[in-house]
Chain A
């Protein structure tokens, strides 16, 4: 824009200063418009020549392609900042280096910048990242009233300074999070990266004024997180590294849920960038402890257990012998409530056989057996005939139906809470397990899973989904956990760690190690259907009971249960978090139970 002035004023080109685009406050928008008109005129003139190179610069001896102009301008600015900052240093980077012929502007700048080992300067204005999403190269210049929905413009305030930057190739998504996590909008679909070389010459570049606001740091943080993920996606480790450092700095300045989420994501990104992949966690006793605290602070597990138990209870109406196979045994906290409900059946409780499956313990204690004893004692209080067996397995895929010793005349129930998604890390595993389940001919299969798609093929998509999901989760911890037990900070911290480990796995791991492969309810529906199961609708009494449960523990803070085609979803405000469903074998020979 300032080029118009140069036409008239000095006609000569005086290095990088003339391309500095600093604009003072207050007249930003107005000036922008006026200058834009001139710019348009310029391009109109240039069209006539159509040599692909900037005419004016060529006159004074610099060859700059039109398509590179924006890039060049930005690099100039960076270079200027670099030079200013290195003024006081003894070893000026200009001293010994050999640089390319400055007449080839782009490559000369490139060499200068890479020589100086450019890292983004501390005051690198991420507004340029925001601006990246705002430039729409397919539209000719229009008045500001028809600006893209993505545009983030705040009226200028007196005390802030503005910088207009040309867009940077990194193209993150725009979030309107600010500090108000609970009303996070849906993410905008990713805008495809633009390649400067395909920009038609006669399209004007619309400058944008971005003013600092009070939520600036939060937005910057999100932008930087996204930019880092994008850099990783594009295999740009150097940029990713510098951005990771940025994130850590920005995260410190945040507070509350945002800070915690950002810290965990920052650590996960750092692990990925530096190749410090966390060891697959065989320390299941620790994760058991974390889960106990998680049980206390969040209703997720309670929701899971209550819905599953109700479905199981409904399916056991006519049974005298039940054999429950639990893939998610852990501390066995799901089963006391079921046993108590069975004890209160009018015709008395059935014979209760429980087979628990769990991972190996690092310290050779038999945790499964201990849980078994505890449940046995509990069952004794209820005068229920109880039988228990524990199976230790590294993966559910190692089991087969013969191991479970299914006896005739017993009603088989299979239960899995937050376990099946781990099988998706190994090809063919989930199919094998579902086949084994079918062979056991269960009356009902209860499945509870996280409601999120953290298993997409593209890293950036997974990252975005995870960021959204875990932000909501941490929000719910803030809102719910504190009101529940304000003095019990330990439970809260443990719950956060519980989620933190998941975040680390989703972001930093790949292949077999990435076990937190959450998928959405619809994906599980399809999978179960193609494996030969049909949905068994969860009844309305289940819905009512869970609502009562939530109202006791929740006290009106954000958790909601909603019904979704026979399944139940637990969500925080508008975002579903956990999905619970029940399945039976779809077989025309077996009369299906009508609920």
Chain B
């Protein structure tokens, strides 16, 4: 609604907010985690695009050192247990922050994410999934 009111007055803002989804997607491929998170708060369209798992996968894997595992494998594991966005917000970010703090570096997230931190985050993600599974599961559903 704000956009419609403004559309007559300021032209450049309209263009940005009416951006083509694919274009937005391409742009968001290159932003960092905080920016991507903020982008999901702009409006519904942006939220839908920003929450795309592929974008968060890029965020997560961009600075991974070689964790000794093909991407496809990682992808299937992470997607099965909640996705990259969840992985990042719940575990990757806090783990890295904590590691940096404990090593007395600055509290900003380091650019290289080591094997240990990644594996730890993945373990915690899978544990969380298991804990939240239905406890009364009694039979195979397939």
Contact = CB atoms under 8 A, between A and B. Distances in A.
A333 B98 contact: no
A208 B73 CA distance: 74
B98 A555 contact: yes
A544 B81 CA distance: 24
Interface in A534-549: 541, 544-545, 547-549
Interface string B113-138: 00011011011111101110101111
Given A373-B137, A548-B98, A333 B130 contact: yes
A541 B80 contact: no
A339 B127 CA distance: 10
Contacts of B136: 370
B94 interface: yes
Contact of B120 (A339, A376, A549, A555): A549
A374 B137 contact: yes
B119 A545 contact: yes
A252 interface: no
Interface of chain A: mostly helix, strand, loop or mixed: helix
**Which interface class (under 10, 10 to 19, 20 to 34, 35 or more) fits B?**
35 or more
B99 A336 contact: no
Contact of A343 (B77, B101, B130, B138): B77
A346 B70 contact: yes
Given A306-B123, A336-B129, A541-B116, A551 B77 contact: no
A374 B130 contact: yes
Contacts of A541: 116
Contacts of A333: 127, 130-131
A377 B133 contact: yes
Interface string B66-91: 01111001101100110000000001
A428 B125 CA distance: 42
B81 A381 contact: yes
A378 B123 contact: no
B102 A556 contact: yes
Nearest to B81: A381
Interface string A374-394: 101110011100000000000
A341 B80 contact: no
Interface in A328-375: 333, 336-337, 339-341, 343-346, 370, 373-374
Contacts of A383: 76
A345 B117 CA distance: 16
A402 interface: no
B78 to A, nearest CB: 10
Given A336-B127, A337-B126, A370-B138, A551 B99 contact: yes
Contact of B99 (A345, A382, A548, A555): A548
B95 interface: yes
Interface in A137-180: none
Nearest to B134: A374
B85 to A, nearest CB: 18
Contact of A378 (B98, B133, B138): B133
A505 B29 CA distance: 59
A552 interface: yes
Nearest to B94: A552
A541 B131 CA distance: 26
Given A541-B116, A552-B120, A374 B135 contact: yes
A275 B140 CA distance: 50
A251 B5 CA distance: 69
B11 interface: no
5 contacts: A336-B127, A344-B67, A374-B137, A381-B129, A544-B116
Interface of B: 67-70, 73-74, 76-77, 80-81, 91, 94-95, 98-99, 101-102, 116-117, 119-120, 122-127, 129-131, 133, 135-140
Closest 3 A/B residue pairs (Cβ): A551-B98, A337-B123, A336-B130
Interface of A: 306, 309, 333, 336-337, 339-341, 343-346, 370, 373-374, 376-378, 381-383, 541, 544-545, 547-549, 551-552, 555-556
Given A548-B120, A549-B120, 13 more contacts: A336-B130, A337-B124, A343-B73, A344-B74, A370-B136, A373-B137, A373-B140, A377-B140, A545-B119, A548-B98, A551-B98, A552-B94, A556-B102
